[in-house]
Structure 1
Amino acid sequence: MADFGYFLSSEEHSPPELVDQARMAEQAGFDALWISDHYHPWNDQQGESPFVWTVIGALSQAVSLPVETAVTCPLVRTHPAVIAQAAATSAAQLGSRFRLGVGTGEALNEHILGDAWPEASVRLEMLEEALQIIRKLFTGEQTSHRGRHYTVENARLYTLPDQPVPIDVSAFGPQAAEVAGRIGDGLITMMPDAAFVERFRRGGGGAKPVYGGLKVCWGSDRHEAVRTAHRLWANEQLPGELAQILPTPRHFEQASELVTEEQVAASVPCGDDPDAHIEALTAFVDAGFDTVYVNQIGKDQQGFFDFYRSKVLPQLGD
């Protein structure tokens, strides 16, 4: 059976709220935590976007669950040498309970310093070079690097965990799945697609772990839950590469006007029917995922955790 984790949404919640949710997740019986790494929320309705590394420090003291970024982009906004230091420090705090999830990012977060936003194939190339730098620095040796995209000069990490931090790679397209299989210690993806998982494994992933995530909106009134999911996360239903190229929350709000409540209702488990939530999670298990992370949309986090503790997680553990 797969493990089940909770996905902390930095786009929706303040640092104290995220720490409280982590405690509730542990008490409810979840096995692990993901936390998103954003500079901006996707839209102004979500309304938050704290610095993830500060929150991870708080999580290390608040809970005993494993923590992973889902996901950090080490390409443009933050140099990979700085990400290496942040990840190493997080792992020193959390021990073997920290994993670094990385991906090629979105213009929404990465354009803020005025840098050009590369096309997807270039970003994959940058990601591979970034991981080379990060892994060199994880050795604790003095590192210099002069590559196509990055320069590092006489850098050395002094605060390190006992073992190098595992690095999982987020992927959505076929080429990215193969790159993840070749350079990652695991795969992160958001669709329960068995063929995609198999492509990752054939591309070099082998028996490496596969992690997936989804959003739900628990609530006693399903129609209200659908409205909440639509108001806060309609952007999840945008097609193609829009999520990677739109530069501001306002642009996402404009594009999301094309997304209907019916589309959200068809894609996001909403309401308080345990079978609907269990079916959505089981789809990932059946597709070969090792851990599935679920995020509750909206403010009623305690109600969600009570529901999953009593009605959902016990059935998934059978």
Structure 2
Amino acid sequence: MTDYGYFLSCEEHSPADLVEQARMAEQAGFTRLWISDHFHPWNDAQGQSPFVWSVIGALSQVTSLPVETAVTCPIMRLHPVVTAQAAATSAVLLDGRFRLGVGSGEALNEHILGDHWPQASVRLEMLEEAVQVMRQLFEGGEVSHHGKHYTVENARLYTVPAEPVPIDVSAFGPNATELAARVGDGFVTMTPDADAVERFRRGGGGNKPVLGGVKVCWNPDRDEAVRTAHRLWANEQLPGELPQILPTPRHFEQASQLVTPERVAEAVTCGDDVDAHVAALQAYAEAGFDTVYVNQIGPEQRGFFDFYRTKVLPQLTD
């Protein structure tokens, strides 16, 4: 059975709103939570970007659902040692109901300290070393590490959960998928790509969980939903490596001018057609995903949760 979780968007919502959405998600019948980890939003219209680890602390006090970052980049802005401490504390607060989703990041968030933004192959190399360091720290002993990209001296986490934090690796191409299969406890991706799932499982992922995310925009007025999705998330339709290399929200706004409302309407489930929402999520189940996380674009959060509680989730979980 595929599980269905809710995807909290730090790019769009304040800390208080994210906490309230977590409450509503649990009441609506979602079984898990994802939460994004950004320094910047993708564009100014999204308008938020709280520090994810503070929000996770608040979530631990209001929900019984498992929580996972989707995803954290532990290679530049946050050193893997600092990421490991944040993840371990989150797991303790959540009584072990925390998973760390990691990826190789975007310049949008990671170049802010003035460091050189490496090419994709180097970032994947850095990510693999970062995962190695974090796994050592989760064991609770003293760690010293002198690697190609990171130096750690006499580091020990004193606040650790009973079991090491699982680390799921995000991937969108073959090389990253092979890395996820090799070093991850699970595989994170954002499209219902059965071939990628099979590549992960063949490459060493076996029966480890495959996790996916999908954005929708519920609104009784489909045209209004399309306008909202286009205004806030046109950047999702940018091709290739652009999302990884553009450095500021302003650059994403400039590039997103090339994305038409019609393109967004084709790519994003908009409106209140129950069958369309069900089909969007079933595509992930049919591709072999274990969990699908749904994100509602825009301000119509309460209506979305009522819609999914009464009409969508019952069709998916019967």
User: Scaled by the length of structure 2, what TM-score is found?
Assistant: 1.00
Q: In structure 1, what residue type is equivalent to 2:211?
A: Y
Determine the C-alpha separation between the residues in 2 that align with 1:95 and 1:170.
24
Name the counterpart of 1:71. Answer: 71
Deviation readout 1:179-198 (Å, 9 max, x if unpaired): 10000000000010111100
Q: Are residue 215 (structure 1) and residue 237 (structure 2) matched?
A: no
Q: Are residue 295 (structure 1) and residue 295 (structure 2) matched?
A: yes
- Offset at 1:145? 0.5
Name the counterpart of 2:167. Answer: 167
- Offset at 1:95? 1.8
Deviation readout 1:57-95 (Å, 9 max, x if unpaired): 000000000000000000010100000000000000012
Identity of matched residues, %: 77
- For residues 15-94 of structure 1, what are the structure 2 equivalents within 5 Å? 15-94=15-94
Determine the C-alpha separation between the residues in 2 that align with 1:78 and 1:114.
13
Name the counterpart of 2:241. Answer: 241
Determine the C-alpha separation between the residues in 1 that align with 2:55 and 2:274.
31
- Offset at 1:16? 0.1
Deviation readout 1:199-232 (Å, 9 max, x if unpaired): 0111110000000001000000000000000000
Name the counterpart of 1:262. Answer: 262
Deviation readout 1:119-138 (Å, 9 max, x if unpaired): 00000000000001000000
Name the counterpart of 2:139. Answer: 139
* Secondary structure of the structure 1 residue equivalent to 2:6: strand
Determine the C-alpha separation between the residues in 1 that align with 2:170 and 2:295.
17
Determine the C-alpha separation between the residues in 1 that align with 2:264 and 2:285.
22
- Offset at 1:96? 2.2
Matched pairs, number = 318
Q: Are residue 183 (structure 1) and residue 183 (structure 2) matched?
A: yes
What runs of 5+ residues in structure 1 fail to find an aligned partner? none
Determine the C-alpha separation between the residues in 2 that align with 1:196 and 1:131.
21
Name the counterpart of 1:280. Answer: 280
Q: In structure 1, what residue type is equivalent to 2:84?
A: A
Determine the C-alpha separation between the residues in 1 that align with 2:75 and 2:146.
15
Q: In structure 2, what residue type is equivalent to 1:212?
A: G
Determine the C-alpha separation between the residues in 2 that align with 1:189 and 1:95.
26
* Secondary structure of the structure 2 residue equivalent to 1:168: strand
- For residues 99-114 of structure 1, what are the structure 2 equivalents within 5 Å? 99-114=99-114
* Secondary structure of the structure 1 residue equivalent to 2:61: helix
Determine the C-alpha separation between the residues in 2 that align with 1:207 and 1:220.
39
What runs of 5+ residues in structure 2 fail to find an aligned partner? none
Determine the C-alpha separation between the residues in 2 that align with 1:119 and 1:204.
25
Determine the C-alpha separation between the residues in 2 that align with 1:268 and 1:259.
13
- Offset at 1:104? 0.2
Name the counterpart of 2:205. Answer: 205
* Secondary structure of the structure 1 residue equivalent to 2:94: helix
Determine the C-alpha separation between the residues in 1 that align with 2:241 and 2:5.
27
* Secondary structure of the structure 1 residue equivalent to 2:34: strand
* Secondary structure of the structure 1 residue equivalent to 2:220: coil
Determine the C-alpha separation between the residues in 2 that align with 1:20 and 1:85.
26
Q: In structure 2, what residue type is equivalent to 1:12?
A: E
* Secondary structure of the structure 1 residue equivalent to 2:95: helix
Determine the C-alpha separation between the residues in 2 that align with 1:199 and 1:66.
27
Determine the C-alpha separation between the residues in 1 that align with 2:207 and 2:20.
34
Determine the C-alpha separation between the residues in 1 that align with 2:77 and 2:271.
38
* Secondary structure of the structure 2 residue equivalent to 1:204: helix
Name the counterpart of 2:9. Answer: 9
Question: RMSD of aligned C-alpha atoms?
Answer: 0.4
* Secondary structure of the structure 1 residue equivalent to 2:157: coil
Q: In structure 2, what residue type is equivalent to 1:111?
A: H
Q: In structure 2, what residue type is equivalent to 1:146?
A: H
Deviation readout 1:148-167 (Å, 9 max, x if unpaired): 00000000000000000000
User: Scaled by the length of structure 1, what TM-score is found?
Assistant: 1.00
Deviation readout 1:29-49 (Å, 9 max, x if unpaired): 000000000000000000000
